[in-house]
Amino acid sequence: GAVVSQHPSRVICKSGTSVKIECRSLDFQATTMFWYRQFPKQSLMLMATSNEGSKATYEQGVEKDKFLINHASLTLSTLTVTSAHPEDSSFYICSARDRDSSYEQYFGPGTRLTVT
């Protein structure tokens, strides 16, 4: 149980285009989902917290208009990187908290974004 999927697993896009990443909880309902980015050999940096049906809460320094987050259902959250630039190239990972659990988060496999 507690499986989280992400799609796509890898994406290459040109500078200036937008990319959407999906995060799904497959066998549980997630009232809260989290989006992280991770640079090589670095820890996870929380970008935003999204609650189903409400606006996401962004961490300090993360541009809301650049990283659009939508959490339209209890099993799906999306992150859209708008007008992507090479410095946005990173590993993006989502996690989901089981509605029936306490504080455990289950992570997706990650999406490798490369902006050329």
Q: Which residues bind other proteins (CB under 8 A)?
A: 2, 4, 6, 32, 34, 41-44, 46, 49, 91, 93, 95, 97, 102-110, 112
- Judged by beta carbon, residue 68 or residue 107, the one nearer other proteins is 107
The least CB distance from residue 16 to other proteins, in Å, is 26
- Judged by beta carbon, residue 29 or residue 83, the one nearer other proteins is 29
The least CB distance from residue 25 to other proteins, in Å, is 13
Six-digit token pair at 45? 């940096």
C-alpha distances in Å from residue 11, one per residue of 6, 75, 91, 94, 110 = 12, 22, 10, 16, 11
The least CB distance from residue 83 to other proteins, in Å, is 26
The least CB distance from residue 65 to other proteins, in Å, is 22
Strand 57-58, strand 44-51: pairing: antiparallel
- Judged by beta carbon, residue 38 or residue 82, the one nearer other proteins is 38
Alpha-carbon span 79 to 92, nearest angstrom: 9
Q: What is the identity of the amino acid at 8?
A: P
Alpha-carbon span 53 to 116, nearest angstrom: 34
Alpha-carbon span 109 to 93, nearest angstrom: 7
- Judged by beta carbon, residue 43 or residue 86, the one nearer other proteins is 43
